[in-house]
Chain A
Amino acid sequence: MKNLGSVMAAYLASWAIFFVYYWSVGRRVSRLRDDVERLKSTLTKTSRP
């Protein structure tokens, strides 16, 4: 079982990168969705006679 700690460290580091990246993309999508909603509601209000 020599070096099993290093193997685990490599796997954990890799999973951490994927999770952080997935989270960062999800956060960007969420922010942009908020912007789209805000702008759409602004446009609806502004274009009302």
Chain B
Amino acid sequence: MAAQTKRELPGLGLSVALTAILMAAAGYAALYIAPTERTMGQIQRIFYMHMPSGINAFIAFFIAFIANIVYLVKRSPKADWLAVSAAEVGLALISVMLITGPIWAKPVWGVWWVWDARLTSTFVLWVMYVSYLLLRGLIDDPERKAIVSAVYGIFAFLDVPLVYMSTRWFRTQHPAPVVFGGPNSGLAPRMSEVLGFCMVAFAALMLIMLRLRYKVEEMRHEVMELEMDAAQLSPELLPASGD
């Protein structure tokens, strides 16, 4: 990213570097420090990327959910910017979960994918947030776009508790949760430590991506205001870039 953006976002370079180091350390911990799981063997190490990406996607979607409610109550454009930013970051993270899951499933279950409650509800969640972003692209008027997408975003979030609870409510091919999963669940202490570290690394990544993505919305707003000023002074100067 260019130097000017770094000036616009103080500490960006340092934050990105620290997050990259954290993520590299998390990868190292998952591959070399975490013990090998007795039943599944090496393939279980995907867990340290699969679960933190999913949990942080849920956190990002929750941020979007709250921002959508705030937008509908206060009509604050900043809430709309935060909502779309968090939704997009959550989508990137849930995509990681959806890609790592089948790679893990194939050697363990013998199939890449099954349409059980957990996998289906996660796929539906992914589709809903892709639709959320597509929907925003279809509406030109900024206020109408914000209102429609806020309502849709609140509706889309309703799938998150369903994904989380699906392995508890339904019989699924996907295993029961090992964290907060009840009396017979749990991880070996070293596995828990590595998982906790990976969660922190992914949370840092989620926050830095969210800050950057929010900057895009701020700049879009600035461009719109400048275009309006330019149109008032000299209408033939428009249209500007379609971004």
A39 touching B223, Cβ below 8 Å: yes
| Cβ-neighbour of A43 out of B31, B223, B230 (below 8 A) | B230
A6 touching B107, Cβ below 8 Å: yes
B55 to chain A, nearest CB (A): 14
B2 touching A35, Cβ below 8 Å: no
A30 touching B2, Cβ below 8 Å: yes
Bound complex: CA of A25 vs CA of B209, how far in Å? 8
A35 touching B42, Cβ below 8 Å: no
Bound complex: CA of A38 vs CA of B200, how far in Å? 40
Question: Cβ of B216 < 8 Å from any Cβ of A?
Answer: yes
The answer to whether residues A10 and B49 also contact, given A30-B2, A43-B226 and a CB cut-off of 8 A, is: yes
Q: B162-192 vs A: 1/0 string, CB under 8 Å?
A: 0000000000000000000000000000000
Interface of B is mostly: helix
A43 contacts which chain B residues (CB < 8 A)? 226, 229-230, 233
> Using a Cβ cutoff of 8 Å, how many contacts connect chains A and B?
114
Interface size on B, residues (CB 8 A): 44
B233 contacts which chain A residues (CB < 8 A)? 43, 46-47
The answer to whether residues A21 and B219 also contact, given A11-B27, A14-B100, A31-B243 and a CB cut-off of 8 A, is: no
| Cβ-neighbour of A6 out of B2, B5, B43, B226 (below 8 A) | B43
Q: Max chain A CB contacts within 10 Å: which of B99, B103, B212?
A: B103
| Cβ-neighbour of A3 out of B1, B43, B209 (below 8 A) | B43
B161 to chain A, nearest CB (A): 25
Q: B7-34 vs A: 1/0 string, CB under 8 Å?
A: 0000000000000000100010001000
| Cβ-neighbour of B222 out of A13, A30, A36 (below 8 A) | A36
Enumerate 28 A-B pairs (CB-CB under 8 Å) in ascending A order: A2-B42, A2-B43, A6-B107, A10-B100, A11-B27, A13-B100, A18-B96, A21-B92, A22-B212, A26-B1, A28-B216, A29-B212, A29-B216, A29-B219, A30-B1, A32-B220, A33-B219, A35-B240, A36-B222, A36-B226, A38-B240, A39-B226, A39-B227, A39-B229, A39-B230, A39-B240, A43-B233, A46-B230
The 4 closest A-B pairs by CB, nearest first: A39-B226, A32-B219, A3-B43, A10-B103
Given contacts A2-B43, A13-B100, 18 further A-B contacts (CB under 8 A): A2-B41, A6-B106, A10-B100, A10-B103, A11-B31, A14-B49, A14-B100, A17-B92, A18-B205, A26-B5, A30-B1, A31-B241, A32-B220, A32-B222, A33-B219, A35-B223, A36-B219, A38-B241
